[in-house]
């Protein structure tokens, strides 16, 4: 069981209470518990990234850490594909984000491909310039998915999932989760369910 966020998000008392509620005396295979957190949201995202497998497959997803909407739109994409999410500032200069990107690029099996979700108002060209000019990533290996607003970006992400093959071949739009675009909480709660049901 992973608790994502520091004590400002999930207090030590709540952590202990939840651990106690999920622990059964005499259980021969008791759950293990860990907190994944960092000094800020970017460092927490980097801690989650670092907890992943030795290779993440063909892509990683970059979204804004300054607003929630594009990250929520990318959640089912990440869950279904297994591609991790990296939070980045608009200027593309966050040290934790760069550390995750650099770690990905250092993987021997990495194809060095990126999906940026959100327009340049959310993730500026600084990020693509860093990837291309500093890290040598081919422009063809960077895809930006965006729309005129959060709703159009969500539609663009859904269309991308529907049009892609493996590992997104099952995301055919037969099932669709409808959530508010004005608050993140319901959409966040629905994202893993949507991926498990191959739902957009």
Q: Average pLDDT, stretch 64-76?
A: 93
Per-state percent for the chain, helix, strand, coil, to nearest 5: 40, 10, 45
Do 112 and 57 contact (CB within 8 A), yes or no? Answer: no
> Residue 73's closest CA among 42, 116, 117?
117
Q: Is the pLDDT of residue 63 over 80?
A: yes
Do 82 and 107 contact (CB within 8 A), yes or no? Answer: no
Q: Is the pLDDT of residue 156 over 80?
A: yes
Q: What pLDDT band is residue 56 in, cutting at 50, 70 and 90?
A: low
* Mean per-residue pLDDT over the chain, rounded: 90
pLDDT digits (tens, 9 = 90+) for 135-149: 999 999 999 999 999
Handedness of CA 181, 84, 121, 111 (dihedral sign): negative
Q: What is the pLDDT of residue 52?
A: 77
Do 56 and 100 contact (CB within 8 A), yes or no? Answer: no
* Residue 45 structure tokens: 């995202």
Cα separation, 26 vs 23, in Å, equals 9
% of the chain beyond a pLDDT of 70:
96
């Amino acid at each position: 069981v992973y608790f994502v966020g520091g004590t400002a998000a999930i207090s030590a008392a709540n952590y202990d209470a939840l651990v106690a509620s999920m622990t059964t005396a005499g259980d021969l295979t008791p759950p293990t518990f860990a907190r994944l957190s960092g000094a800020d949201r970017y460092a927490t995202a980097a801690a989650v990234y670092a907890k992943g497998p030795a290779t993440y497959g063909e892509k990683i997803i970059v979204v804004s850490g300054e607003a929630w909407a594009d990250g929520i739109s990318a959640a089912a994409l990440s869950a279904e594909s297994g591609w991790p999410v990296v939070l980045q500032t608009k200027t593309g200069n966050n040290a934790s984000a760069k550390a995750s990107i650099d770690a990905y690029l250092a993987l021997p099996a990495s194809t060095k491909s990126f999906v940026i979700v959100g327009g340049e108002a959310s993730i500026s060209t600084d990020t693509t310039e860093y990837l291309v000019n500093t890290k040598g990533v081919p422009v063809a290996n960077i895809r930006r998915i965006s729309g005129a607003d959060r709703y159009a970006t969500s539609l663009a992400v859904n269309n991308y999932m529907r049009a892609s093959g493996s590992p997104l071949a099952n995301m055919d739009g037969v099932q669709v989760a409808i959530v508010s675009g004005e608050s993140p909480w319901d959409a966040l709660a629905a994202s893993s369910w949507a991926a498990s049901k191959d739902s957009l």
